Chain A
Amino acid sequence: MEANTERIITLDLLPETGWATVAGVTVPIEPADRNLVLRLMELGFVPGERVHVVREGRPGHDPLAVRLGHTTFALRRREAAFIQVIPAA
């Protein structure tokens, strides 16, 4: 099935236990955020990778425990929002 651009959401909106495929990453101009996003890419958040929200923190559904390959990362929602994903049907 072709990726439908209308189904692209940011990772922070993926529901708990949801699976998705990374579609893209927003690279901000502000230096601290840019370094943060570069690091996310270095950790493997690059287009084509499968991600899975294992758990959300409480209260406020923050932070997220995101499975990527064989690693789990804890990300704040704000950090996850730089990553665009296509949720698995």
Chain B
Amino acid sequence: MSGPTPALPQRIALLGNPNCGKTALFNLLTGSRQKVANYAGVTVERKEGVMRTASGRRIQVLDLPGAYSLNALSTDEAVTRDVITGHSPEALPDLLVCVADATNLRLHLRLVLEARQLGLPLVVALNKMDRARQLGITIDKALLARELNVPVVETVSVHAHGADALRAMLDEPLREAPPAHWKPPGVEQVLATQRDVLGIFNRTVTSPSTDKDPSIRIDRFLMHPVWGFAVLALVLFVTFLAVFSGGDVLSGWIEDAFGAIAGVVEANMADGLLRGLIVEGVIGGVGGVIVFLPQILILFLFILALEASGYLPRAAFLLDRPMSAAGLSGRSFIPLLSSFACAIPGIMATRTIANWRDRLTTILIAPLMACSARIPVYTLIVAALFPDDAVAAALVMVGLYVLGIVAAMTVAWFIKRSDKHAARSPLMMELPAYQWPDLRSLVIGLWERAMIFLRRVGTIILALTIIMWALYTVPSPRDNDRSLAGELGHALHYVFKPIGFNEQISFALVPGMAAREVVVSALGTAYSMDGDEGDVDEQLRERIEREWPLATKLSLLLWMVFAPQCLSTFVVVKRETGSWKQMWIMGGYLFGLAYLASLITYQLTTFLTAP
């Protein structure tokens, strides 16, 4: 290790407790130069980026998953432990930057002491120093560096220049660390480390005698048995109001933009197959799906902001007991809330649930949350059910959302009951101090979500709309009056007849099985409607109102609540569970529920409305 000149760090890793502001610091250091992937063999997010030191050198930064301890309890913590103890395929970093929350050193110093035993060069970043000063906490940095025998720098990850001291530190040659070997500690060792932590803490940190942190007072209100739930209901109400009203405005702009593009293409291309493909297939199909982007992003903006502010963990606390009745814990709340935008990021968010059975249950029920892709089908049919009664329509919409939630809780309850070896899952969750969300991290978080969605639109949905267009355009070999699609719809009609679906619905469900976003445009195609999107929706609503019996409308609504019509969800369930079996269980039970619910609804409604 001892070369002629001491080396400069080339590859650093950020280590820290959850909620230490590590990811905000990573975002500050790397900006948009990030690569997000998974660690080999596990579904733990691996974030790496490139940063510049004070002298302008470019070095690699790895943002390790947050860990309270190297004595890992979750997959995230195990990955962190394995990377920094050299037990993973990852190369060891040259330097560990241990990020510690300056407002909470009593908790965060312990990981620093643990990291010191690893034999890797170490720097301590005292993060949130601005907040610590506001709270009247003073830290003797020089003494802390001497006590720990490692360099200590201050950082403020929410200020543009908040990492300057760290950037300068990274131009200094690596100090050699005493070689060491990490072993999982026992009870005595944990107690001894805590005594050391307390000693260092008492010598270096002065806190005001009265706790200036308003978190306790805010918590007394936000977790109040009555007011807490009232605030939660209000927060959810405002969130969904913003999704629907704000989303509508922005979606209108996107519709107009795509309409304009289609107009330009139509004006400049000769009529023919290719123009049809581009205008109806590509622009119509993709445009019809991209209009959900605002709704998804508004919901994620609320979720990310509420999470960063510290509120969502409190909501999870409030809901822990009610959700445990269904065999879940409060930890499932955030993934399920995300699933109202889209089940895919929701299922990915289950990674924070340490208990495997809880995580699997949450994954299996996440597709029952009414994702944004269901909104257009719901809107279309509900509008056809109640053309003149907006209040009734709104109530039925809310009812469809509630039905999904009730179904999810019931399924979770059955899964819990069927598993006799279910281990008790611990909650043990930190309720971090309230803070203002960091704007940069919000933007990066939204960007990541938007990319997941747009990638899907560019691949699966684009392919589907082209296939759908082709099926509709190519005539059937048997009967020239019919397209291939008509033939397919006719065949599927036998399967869907008992639940009241006509040939057009059966046809629309062919591409709709892979992505429910395309159901409405596929119905438009099946009824051979032309014109821009608004016109098609209006014509479609009138035809449905006129031609479909009540039983069929209700049956399709119920079908949309349950049916797992999303190829990407299947893919992500397979990837997150690592199991084809779980994927088929999810698909199977949802199809079963959908068919059963639609069958009962259709037959019962037909019977009751029979003349």
What is the chain A residue whose CB lies nearest that of B226? A58
Chain A residues closer than 8 Å to B431, beta-carbon distance? 65, 71-74
B85 shortest CB reach to chain A, Å: 17
> Does A46 belong to the interface (CB within 8 Å)?
yes
Q: Evaluate contact between A44 and B321: CB separation under 8 angstroms.
A: no
Q: Which of A58, A60, A70 has the most chain B CB within a 10 Å cutoff?
A: A70
Q: Evaluate contact between B107 and A69: CB separation under 8 angstroms.
A: yes
Chain A residues closer than 8 Å to B216, beta-carbon distance? 52, 54, 67, 72
What is the chain B residue whose CB lies nearest that of A46? B194
Q: Which of A36, A40, A72 has the most chain B CB within a 10 Å cutoff?
A: A72
Residue-by-residue, is A7-31 near B (CB-CB < 8 Å gives 1, otherwise 0)? 0000000000000000000010000
Within 8 A of A (CB), among B402-436: 423-424, 426-433
A37–B429 alpha-carbon span in the complex (Å): 14
Chain A residues closer than 8 Å to B430, beta-carbon distance? 71-74
Known: A42-B69, A55-B220, A65-B223. A70 touches B104 (CB 8 A): yes
> Does A32 belong to the interface (CB within 8 Å)?
yes
> Does B27 belong to the interface (CB within 8 Å)?
no
What is the chain B residue whose CB lies nearest that of A72? B431
Give 13 pairs: A residue, B residue, CB < 8 Å, sorted on A: A27-B187, A42-B110, A42-B194, A55-B219, A58-B225, A70-B106, A70-B211, A70-B213, A72-B215, A73-B429, A74-B313, A74-B429, A76-B320
> Does B224 belong to the interface (CB within 8 Å)?
yes
A18 shortest CB reach to chain B, Å: 13
Q: Evaluate contact between A38 and B71: CB separation under 8 angstroms.
A: yes
Chain B residues closer than 8 Å to A41, beta-carbon distance? 187, 190-191, 194
Known: A35-B73, A75-B427. A57 touches B211 (CB 8 A): no
Chain A residues closer than 8 Å to B106, beta-carbon distance? 44, 69-70
What is the chain B residue whose CB lies nearest that of A62? B321
A60–B490 alpha-carbon span in the complex (Å): 56
Interface residues on B, range: 35 or more
Chain B residues closer than 8 Å to A71, beta-carbon distance? 104, 107, 430-433
Chain B residues closer than 8 Å to A75, beta-carbon distance? 427-428
What is the chain B residue whose CB lies nearest that of A27? B187
Q: Evaluate contact between A46 and B215: CB separation under 8 angstroms.
A: no
Chain B residues closer than 8 Å to A57, beta-carbon distance? 223, 317-318, 320-321
> Does B330 belong to the interface (CB within 8 Å)?
yes
A36–B428 alpha-carbon span in the complex (Å): 9
A54 shortest CB reach to chain B, Å: 5
Chain B residues closer than 8 Å to A32, beta-carbon distance? 423
Total count of chain A residues near the partner, CB < 8 A: 34
Within 8 A of A (CB), among B320-349: 320-321, 330
Within 8 A of B (CB), among A38-89: 38-44, 46, 48, 52, 54-55, 57-60, 62-63, 65, 67, 69-76, 78-79
Chain B residues closer than 8 Å to A43, beta-carbon distance? 68, 107, 428
Q: Evaluate contact between B426 and A38: CB separation under 8 angstroms.
A: no
Chain A residues closer than 8 Å to B53, beta-carbon distance? none
A53 shortest CB reach to chain B, Å: 11
B421 shortest CB reach to chain A, Å: 12
A69–B213 alpha-carbon span in the complex (Å): 11
Residue-by-residue, is B185-219 near A (CB-CB < 8 Å gives 1, otherwise 0)? 10100110010001000000001000101011001
Q: Evaluate contact between A55 and B424: CB separation under 8 angstroms.
A: no
Residue in contact with A35 in the complex, picked from B71, B107, B427, CB distance below 8 Å? B71
Q: Evaluate contact between B428 and A39: CB separation under 8 angstroms.
A: yes
Q: A59-B321, A76-B426 are in contact. List 5 more A-B contacts (CB 8 A).
A: A35-B73, A38-B71, A38-B190, A43-B107, A58-B321
Which 8 residue pairs across A and B have the least CB separation, nearest first?
Answer: A55-B223, A72-B431, A58-B225, A69-B106, A70-B104, A74-B429, A57-B321, A76-B427
A43–B169 alpha-carbon span in the complex (Å): 29
Known: A69-B106, A71-B430. A39 touches B69 (CB 8 A): yes
A7 shortest CB reach to chain B, Å: 23
A30 shortest CB reach to chain B, Å: 10
A78–B427 alpha-carbon span in the complex (Å): 10
Q: Evaluate contact between B321 and A60: CB separation under 8 angstroms.
A: yes
A10 shortest CB reach to chain B, Å: 16
> Does B465 belong to the interface (CB within 8 Å)?
no
Residue-by-residue, is B218-250 near A (CB-CB < 8 Å gives 1, otherwise 0)? 011001110010000000000000000000000
Within 8 A of A (CB), among B174-192: 185, 187, 190-191
Q: Evaluate contact between B194 and A73: CB separation under 8 angstroms.
A: no
> Does B103 belong to the interface (CB within 8 Å)?
yes
Q: Evaluate contact between A70 and B107: CB separation under 8 angstroms.
A: yes
A43–B219 alpha-carbon span in the complex (Å): 20
Chain A residues closer than 8 Å to B220, beta-carbon distance? 54-55
A20 shortest CB reach to chain B, Å: 15
B502 shortest CB reach to chain A, Å: 48
A27 shortest CB reach to chain B, Å: 5
Q: Evaluate contact between A38 and B313: CB separation under 8 angstroms.
A: no
Known: A63-B321, A70-B104. A46 touches B191 (CB 8 A): yes
Within 8 A of A (CB), among B86-116: 103-104, 106-107, 110
A39–B224 alpha-carbon span in the complex (Å): 28
A35–B187 alpha-carbon span in the complex (Å): 10
A24–B511 alpha-carbon span in the complex (Å): 62
A74–B315 alpha-carbon span in the complex (Å): 11
Within 8 A of A (CB), among B329-388: 330
What is the chain A residue whose CB lies nearest that of B110? A42
Q: Evaluate contact between B219 and A79: CB separation under 8 angstroms.
A: no
Chain A residues closer than 8 Å to B191, beta-carbon distance? 41, 46
